[in-house]
Chains A and B, each alone.
Chain A
């Protein structure tokens, strides 16, 4: 699939020189990708695992990865695909989740903002995905649509519903504090 992504001004380079190393991409993009995937999957450990596996695939791809115009987009797409490929694990998890009293461990030190990730976790998966990709990865609707393989209108409606639901959850949490 073509790398169509253009990146948000001020956050990510839109292209790179041919001799950019994996180490430079790692330094620039690893943290951002982990946080984006944290938003997508709602589980910090899983997000780290997915992004690290994406870097493993990038390393294995060798010259093919070095020729990619936008390495962060390539890594994000790989991490998203890996996440989706773990279909059964997630399905099993969703099946038992109501019985679990524990929530996945969060990123240490994030206590001040933990309400955000807790609220994201309460959203339906498809709303959480688009919110994370739009607001945490700064992807416009058209690119979220391409990345997830759903229509732009679907992305827009999930964004609208997700935003409303998230706002309601956040204000509910704040009223409890």
Chain B
């Protein structure tokens, strides 16, 4: 009975749906495509700079971050290189992050509203980072090792991960000080298969009762966690290579900032380095 009613519903509903203006959708598609082309041009410039020996291995050169000028008012938003941990307020816009230096590794587009700060990943806080009553931050990283001791450098004493998604999921669950608060579940995120974990960073580590080490990364160094941060974490399987997307907030993070963070996560795009 319900099968029949579903199909009758379908038939009637299809008759009632209005077609929108395809030209408007195609226009949005063109602008999205132009933005990707602009991104490709920016990357080509970066490659030239690297081959000319102008860019240090760990730092993006200032010349690379020159915004791509839109040709007219219908042009796509600028894509600029994410500046890294420079601790300055960023303009609203779309930024290119490079979680891995491996040849052909995907790049990440992150679109930020006004007021976000440049750190290992974009973050927000009030006043000074050391005394802020709340924090919100996003990381997109390629994890190379996870901490086995929260007070030691995981680059030196941690457990190396092999870069596969399954290995990273298993390793995250073993990090001291991270409590997985919901069963990991399969997800589709950013167009790729992903495993979603909710984790809380808990206190109780004696000699390092402030921030503590979580993992070492390929391009962002050691990542530390703040006490009582609640994070939504995804291990994204980009053609077999694991990337970690981590959106963390503290209990007093204002709801509107949390909403901004979630919107930023929603808009993340992994793109090929064309």
Interface residues, chain A, CB within 8 Å of chain B? 22-23, 26-27, 30-32, 34-35, 38-39, 48, 52, 55-62, 80-81, 84-89, 92, 107-110, 112-113, 116-117, 131, 135-136, 149-150, 163, 166-167, 170-171
Specify which chain B residues have a CB less than 8 angstroms from the CB of A60 in the assembled complex.
Answer: 29-30, 32-33, 36
B101 at the interface (CB under 8 A from A): no
B257 at the interface (CB under 8 A from A): no
Specify which chain A residues have a CB less than 8 angstroms from the CB of B9 in the assembled complex.
Answer: 110, 113, 116-117, 136
Asked whether, in the complex, the Cβ of B186 is within 8 Å of the Cβ of A88, the reply is no
Q: What's the nearest-Cβ distance from chain A to residue B232, in Å?
A: 8
Specify which chain B residues have a CB less than 8 angstroms from the CB of A26 in the assembled complex.
Answer: 19, 22, 25
Partner of A88, one of B3, B14, B262: B262
Closest 6 CB pairs of A and B: A59-B29, A88-B262, A60-B32, A116-B9, A31-B17, A60-B29
Partner of A113, one of B3, B8, B32: B8
Specify which chain A residues have a CB less than 8 angstroms from the CB of B10 in the assembled complex.
Answer: 35, 39, 135-136
Smallest CB-CB separation from B33: which chain A residue? A60
Smallest CB-CB separation from B193: which chain A residue? A149
Secondary structure of the B side of the interface? helix
Partner of B13, one of A23, A30, A107, A163: A107
B252 at the interface (CB under 8 A from A): no
B1 at the interface (CB under 8 A from A): yes
Specify which chain B residues have a CB less than 8 angstroms from the CB of A52 in the assembled complex.
Answer: 20, 25
Specify which chain B residues have a CB less than 8 angstroms from the CB of A86 in the assembled complex.
Answer: 266
B241 at the interface (CB under 8 A from A): no
A80 CA to B189 CA in the complex, in Å? 11
Secondary structure of the A side of the interface? helix
- Which of A35, A117, A170 has the most CB atoms of chain B within a 10 A radius of its CB? A35
Specify which chain A residues have a CB less than 8 angstroms from the CB of B265 in the assembled complex.
Answer: 87-88
Asked whether, in the complex, the Cβ of A59 is within 8 Å of the Cβ of B28, the reply is yes
Question: Can you name 12 A-B pairs with beta carbons within 8 Å?
Answer: A30-B20, A52-B20, A56-B29, A58-B29, A59-B25, A85-B189, A116-B5, A149-B188, A163-B2, A166-B2, A170-B1, A171-B1
For chain B, residues 1 to 43, give those with C-beta under 8 angstroms from any C-beta of chain A. Answer: 1-3, 5-10, 12-14, 16-17, 19-20, 22, 25-26, 28-30, 32-33, 36
Asked whether, in the complex, the Cβ of A107 is within 8 Å of the Cβ of B17, the reply is yes
A80 CA to B22 CA in the complex, in Å? 20
A55 CA to B259 CA in the complex, in Å? 26
Specify which chain B residues have a CB less than 8 angstroms from the CB of A167 in the assembled complex.
Answer: 1-2
Asked whether, in the complex, the Cβ of B12 is within 8 Å of the Cβ of A112, the reply is yes
A6 CA to B28 CA in the complex, in Å? 29
**11 further contact pairs, Cβ within 8 A, besides A26-B25, A35-B13:** A26-B22, A35-B10, A39-B6, A60-B36, A61-B29, A62-B33, A80-B188, A87-B266, A107-B16, A108-B16, A149-B188
Known: A88-B262, A113-B13, A167-B2. A31 touches B19 (CB 8 A): yes
Asked whether, in the complex, the Cβ of B266 is within 8 Å of the Cβ of A89, the reply is yes
Asked whether, in the complex, the Cβ of A149 is within 8 Å of the Cβ of B19, the reply is no
B187 at the interface (CB under 8 A from A): yes
Known: A85-B188, A85-B266. A38 touches B13 (CB 8 A): yes
Known: A26-B22, A110-B13. A55 touches B8 (CB 8 A): no
A79 CA to B88 CA in the complex, in Å? 36
- Which of B3, B25, B193 has the most CB atoms of chain A within a 10 A radius of its CB? B25
Asked whether, in the complex, the Cβ of A110 is within 8 Å of the Cβ of B188, the reply is no
Q: What's the nearest-Cβ distance from chain A to residue B17, in Å?
A: 4
